């Protein structure tokens, strides 16, 4: 098979000012440790066992010291072997001995606009009460607890209560269907689940308890459902099984000992959003995960103790687990938690939240950025966004044009953008700039210190300036510990292609300066006239045209070319579609990246199928366009968008 072609040539670079660099966490650490340059930092950290051991001393605290830093028996890793640890010890317990106990952990804003400020001390009390209640219900170490809650403070409380007693949480995104929830609960054999009556989304009530009831019709392992009263709506009640959260915790003590666990005990199973196939229950463990998440938040998103930080993801996916719950709590940071939709009641809700709380750091996804681009600049322009200091992006390749828009319109050309590449499987950022790096729009820059990534061709040779398989060449702290109940799939998905090397499933290219450019998922690669092309480059070329907000590319069989390129294009607000625009866009792509990549057909649509975490489900588009069976769509966010895809 040929290597994947490289079409996109982005030349712009951005360097943070020296003044900015000097105040970053990473630069200050370098100064204290007499490290003079970025090159020296990467060089030192390439001794990765040394590096992670050193970092563990700064970020996590064991009950009992380890005997060995890392034990790597491919494909399984153990970190800090022999130690006793619990992530809640760092996330809450130790803060109770310092002033952080009085600090705000979460500023919560509901969709209808109520706000609540929760201190670390209050959070700790609520977690302890629920942890005691779970114990009373018979939940023991290693039992699974399913959590099906929206973005309300009870979601992190429930997760921490499980972790505290050594139970394993499995959070299912509240936007997923009853059947998706059921499937995951049966897979992990949950004993107890935690949900709520209803919640708000885009001004409407979503009756989550109703969905839970449907799910629990066929989940024999689930003995109890704990129900938090969020809206006060009347709900169906199954006595013996259902218990109100408030009744359960009413007389529970606010003190609960945290269970000292083996550092490698599982913390959670999280089912991957997965744009392809059946969801996998990814296993993460306590100590290594805690370390990787905390270090990356501190160094990459550069969050300071005085900052107001907002990761605008949902806790139902890994970004929220790592960067709304565990890492910010370990670092003792104040985070914003917002329940609702980004455009409710109007498309400036996010910008109003930033101005209202003087948010310093915003971490979001390319799909959200393109959504706001489509809505128009007038919405952010209504608000004072000057408190922002740094921006982040995750979830998909960020198209250079979306990067520039984010940089100029939201960051006012003073906030560096951290394009962080990572996965549910990796637990924390793997490839990302540091806030002192020179940035190139569309590039995730370099593997973070202590991580080693590469791009391999089919023969397993490192390649540069050509697309190939993105791999991670040695273990890292937040590395997954397996797929729950399916060791064969774990081996086959990640470890069979190249011996003992982690296969990420993405395609990427490394440029002359070793910067990484992610070109999309390997499953979505197109094969056109003997060339293999990543979808992301063609999509970026389309988005670089003024009128276009978002684009999705698929390949369909073509007797002459192998595959022909079909584009689904979402136009910006107020732009009208026309046959002329199709020609203009085809010419534009030819001009930007070459005739080879010119879409054969372009369709204008209002939306494309996406996962709840905002990833375009090209597999679904392809199936619909070819009139084939669509397959598992349990992770699909917007089923109505499928209707817009017509059979080709
Ligand atoms: C994609 C999300 C390009 C990639 C944390 C990866 C990205 C998948 C980036 C994992 C990025 C994530 N640039 N692509 N900065 N970040 N991806 O498991 O395809 O929901 O394999 O984890 O998202 O998605 P997941």
Residues 109 and 78 in one domain: no
pLDDT along the chain (648 residues), means of 10: 72 94 98 98 98 98 98 98 98 98 98 97 98 98 98 98 98 89 96 98 95 98 98 97 98 97 98 71 98 98 98 95 98 97 95 98 95 94 98 94 95 98 98 97 97 97 95 98 96 96 96 95 87 89 93 92 93 91 94 89 94 87 92 82 89
Q: What span, in angstroms and rounded, lies between the C-alpha atoms of 5 and 9? A: 12
Ligand 1: which residue has its CA nearest to atom 2? 423
CB environment 559-588: b (16+ within 10 A), e (fewer):
eebebbbbbbbbbbeeeeeeeebbeebbeb
pLDDT (0 to 100) of residue 273: 61
pLDDT (0 to 100) of residue 1: 52
Residues 186 and 122 in one domain: yes
Q: What span, in angstroms and rounded, lies between the C-alpha atoms of 230 and 13? A: 47
Q: What span, in angstroms and rounded, lies between the C-alpha atoms of 98 and 93? A: 10
How many domains are contained in the chain? 3
Residues 116 and 81 in one domain: no
Nearest to 131 by CA among 91, 87, 106, 167: 167
Q: How far is the CA of 466 from the centre of ligand 1 (A)?
A: 20
Q: How many residues does the chain have?
A: 648
Residues 115 and 136 in one domain: yes
Q: Is the beta carbon of 272 within 6 A of some atom in ligand 1?
A: yes
Q: For residue 374, give Cα distances in angstroms to 190, 460, 525, 574, 594.
A: 41, 41, 26, 9, 26
Q: How far is the CA of 621 from the centre of ligand 1 (A)?
A: 19
The answer to whether 411 touches 336, Cβ cutoff 8 Å, is: no
Residues 496 and 569 in one domain: no
The answer to whether 397 touches 423, Cβ cutoff 8 Å, is: no
| Angle 434-438-441 from CA coordinates, rounded to 5° | 95
Residues 214 and 331 in one domain: no
CATH number at 241 reads: 3.40.50.12780
Which region holds residue 476: left if phi is over 0, alpha if psi is between -120 and 50, else beta?
A: beta
The answer to whether 232 touches 197, Cβ cutoff 8 Å, is: yes
Ligand 1 probe mutation, 518, 535, 615, 635, most atoms within 8 A of CB: 518
Residues 533 and 630 in one domain: yes
Residues 304 and 444 in one domain: yes
Structural domain boundaries enclosing 56: 4-86+265-520
Q: Is the beta carbon of 423 within 6 A of some atom in ligand 1?
A: yes
Q: Is the beta carbon of 394 within 6 A of some atom in ligand 1?
A: yes
Tokens of 154: 């009870």
Which of 488, 520, 552 is the last residue in one of the domains?
520
pLDDT (0 to 100) of residue 132: 98
CB environment 312-329: b (16+ within 10 A), e (fewer):
bbbbbbbbbbbbbbbbbb
Q: For residue 80, give Cα distances in angstroms to 48, 77, 229, 476, 595.
A: 14, 10, 40, 12, 53
């Amino acid at each position: 098979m040929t290597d994947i072609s490289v079409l996109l040539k982005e030349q712009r670079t951005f360097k943070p000012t020296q003044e900015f660099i000097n105040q970053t966490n990473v630069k200050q650490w370098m100064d204290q440790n007499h490290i003079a340059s970025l090159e020296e930092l990467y060089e030192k950290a390439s001794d990765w066992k040394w590096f992670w051991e050193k970092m563990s001393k700064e970020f996590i605290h064991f009950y009992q010291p380890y005997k060995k830093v890392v034990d790597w028996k491919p494909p399984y890793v153990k970190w800090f072997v022999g130690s006793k640890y619990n992530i809640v010890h760092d996330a809450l317990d130790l803060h109770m001995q310092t002033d952080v106990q009085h600090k705000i952990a979460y500023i919560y804003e509901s969709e209808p606009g109520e706000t609540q400020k929760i201190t670390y001390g209050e959070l700790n009390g609520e977690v302890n009460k629920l942890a005691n209640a779970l114990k009373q219900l018979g939940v023991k170490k290693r039992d699974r607890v399913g959590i099906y809650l929206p973005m309300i403070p009870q979601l992190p409380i429930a997760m921490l209560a499980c972790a505290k007693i050594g139970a394993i949480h499995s959070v299912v995104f509240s936007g997923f269907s009853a059947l998706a929830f059921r499937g995951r609960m049966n897979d992990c054999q949950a004993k107890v689940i935690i949900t709520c009556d209803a919640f708000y989304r885009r001004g409407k009530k979503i009756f989550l308890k109703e969905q839970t009831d449907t799910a629990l019709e066929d989940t024999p392992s689930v003995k109890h459902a704990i129900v938090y009263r969020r809206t006060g709506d009347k709900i169906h009640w199954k006595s013996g099984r259902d218990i109100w959260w408030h009744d359960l915790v009413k007389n529970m003590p606010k003190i609960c000992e945290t269970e000292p666990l083996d550092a490698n005990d599982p913390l959670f199973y999280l089912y991957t959003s997965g744009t392809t196939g059946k969801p996998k229950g990814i296993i993460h463990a306590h100590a290594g995960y805690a370390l990787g998440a905390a270090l990356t938040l501190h160094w990459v998103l550069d969050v300071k103790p005085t900052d107001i930080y907002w990761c605008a993801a949902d806790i139902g996916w890994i970004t929220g687990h790592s960067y709304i719950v565990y890492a910010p709590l370990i670092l003792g940071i104040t985070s914003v938690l917002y329940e609702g939709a980004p455009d409710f009641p109007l498309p400036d809700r996010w910008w109003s939240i930033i101005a209202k709380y003087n948010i310093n750091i915003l971490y979001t996804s390319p799909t959200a950025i393109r959504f706001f681009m489509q809505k128009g600049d007038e919405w952010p322009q209504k608000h004072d966004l000057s408190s922002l200091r740094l921006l982040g992006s995750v979830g998909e390749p960020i198209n250079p044009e979306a990067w520039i828009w984010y940089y100029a319109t939201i960051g006012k050309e003073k906030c560096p953008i951290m394009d962080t590449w990572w996965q549910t499987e990796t637990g924390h950022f793997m490839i990302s700039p540091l806030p002192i790096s020179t940035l190139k729009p569309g590039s995730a820059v370099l593997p973070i210190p202590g991580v080693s990534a590469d791009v391999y061709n089919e023969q397993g040779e490192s390649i540069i300036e050509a697309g190939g398989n993105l791999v991670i060449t040695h273990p890292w702290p937040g590395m997954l510990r397996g797929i729950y109940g399916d060791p064969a799939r774990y081996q086959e998905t990640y470890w069979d292609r190249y011996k003992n090397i982690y296969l990420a499933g993405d395609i990427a290219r490394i440029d002359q300066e070793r910067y990484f450019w992610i070109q999309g998922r390997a499953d979505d690669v197109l094969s056109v006239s003997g060339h293999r092309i990543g979808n992301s480059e063609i999509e970026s070329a389309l988005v670089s045209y003024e009128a276009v907000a978002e684009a999705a590319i698929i390949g369909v069989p073509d007797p002459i070319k192998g595959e022909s390129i079909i584009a689904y294009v979402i136009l910006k607000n107020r732009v009208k579609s026309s046959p002329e625009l199709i020609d203009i866009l085809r010419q534009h792509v030819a001009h930007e990246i070459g005739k080879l990549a010119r879409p054969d057909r372009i369709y204008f649509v209002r939306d494309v199928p996406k996962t709840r975490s905002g990833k375009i489900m090209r597999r679904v588009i392809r199936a619909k366009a070819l009139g084939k069976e669509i397959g598992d769509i349990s992770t699909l966010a917007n089923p109505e968008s499928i209707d817009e895809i017509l059979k080709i």
